Amino acid sequence: MIRVLPSLSVTTQEQINQVDVLKDFFADKLPSTILTYQRYLNEFMTFCGYHSVNEWLASIKPMSSPDFNAQLLRYKTSLIERKLSSNSINIKLATIRSIIKLTKTIGFSTIDVGIKNVKKKLVRDTKGVPMDDIKKMLDSQTEDSFEATRNRAMIRIMFNCAMRRSEISTIKLSDIDLDNNMVKISEKGGTTREMKIDSESVEDLRKWLKHRDDVGSVASDSDSLFLSKQGKPFSGQKLYYQIKKIAVQCELDPKKVRPHGFRHTAITQVVIDSAKDGLPLTDVKEFSRHKNLDCLTMYVDTDKETFNNMSTKLSLKLRSTVPDVRELKE
């Protein structure tokens, strides 16, 4: 496996400078972001036939912009041929562009990247987990044990706060304030936000904390809120497979149940409720922690009857403000 951050035990100044390039790039990134960028960079280097970071960085230092762009274009084409989503392709390309941009900024290379993103297609995500299935999975975790209390607390807070996998896996003990019903969430891009949590989530979290130290002294060495039985932080990947496991136990189709489906269902419910209460989508955006309102369109489900009634409702609004001329004559 290619190591993204090579050892500092190098002998030449050029190698040291190459190490510094990536050290500078990763300096202000969250651990989860670093792992993601490392994976994307490893994939690109493997595609190009490089076996180490030093080898790759040494190759791009004298490389011309046309040569590098030809290389990146071939990589982009391979991603398209793999039928990856536009979002996945663009994130991978953005990672490479960001690193190359830094190399040019610090004078390490002279490359101008000219390869653009693929055109983004807005695909409706219709894979929310049905509410009855979420309730079934929550109710299956009632045993007073390490695993059940952890799972119940994770499911509860994941749904009630519409959390992403990365947000769940990065919650620290220091991020929760159960006395004031607050949790601090690490969002995309490295920002943090405090959110109010409901009393049931607080109750489930308190039950989990009583069992958290069951793994022994290992637990005291970690500040992560959720742990595995081995006392290690409960990663987003572990959460993914745990949710699948609970789905099987509940005789649900594991292919249709995933952590992000909980977030989708939660936000969909908030969109519906906010519409009934007359609240603007901007309020929902703040709750869902999306960057823009366009992202919320995939959560707006309008049935045919509602759509057909929209014109009638608008007509009634107009009629209530502008008297019918025929009625005035009468």
Read off the pLDDT of residues 16-34 as tens digits, 9 standing for 90 and up: 445 466 676 677 777 777 8
Q: Is residue 306 part of a domain?
A: no
| pLDDT number for residue 30 | 77
| pLDDT number for residue 68 | 93
Count of beta carbons in the 10 Å neighbourhood of residue 23:
11
If you write DSSP's letter for every residue of 103-140 in order, what string do you get?
HHHTTS------PPPPPP-------PPPHHHHHHHHHT
Q: Is residue 41 part of a domain?
A: yes
Helices 65-81, 31-48: inter-axial angle, 10-degree rounding: 100
Answer yes or no: are the C-beta atoms of 159 and 243 closer than 8 Å.
Answer: no
Q: What is the CATH number of the domain that holds 166?
A: 1.10.443.10
| pLDDT number for residue 271 | 83
Residues of the chain with pLDDT under 70: 1-22, 24-25, 121-127, 189, 216-221, 297-330
Q: Is residue 242 part of a domain?
A: yes
The pTM for the full model equals 0.58
Domain boundary among 254, 281, 306: 254
Read off the pLDDT of residues 62-96 as tens digits, 9 standing for 90 and up: 999 999 999 999 999 999 988 888 888 999 999 99
Domain boundary among 254, 275, 298: 254
327 backbone dihedrals φ, ψ, rounded to 5°: -70, -35
Q: Is residue 185 part of a domain?
A: yes
Domain count, the chain: 2
| pLDDT number for residue 47 | 93
| pLDDT number for residue 24 | 66
Q: Which domain, by its residues, includes 98?
A: 13-105
Residues 139 and 197 in one domain: yes
Domain boundary among 56, 88, 105: 105
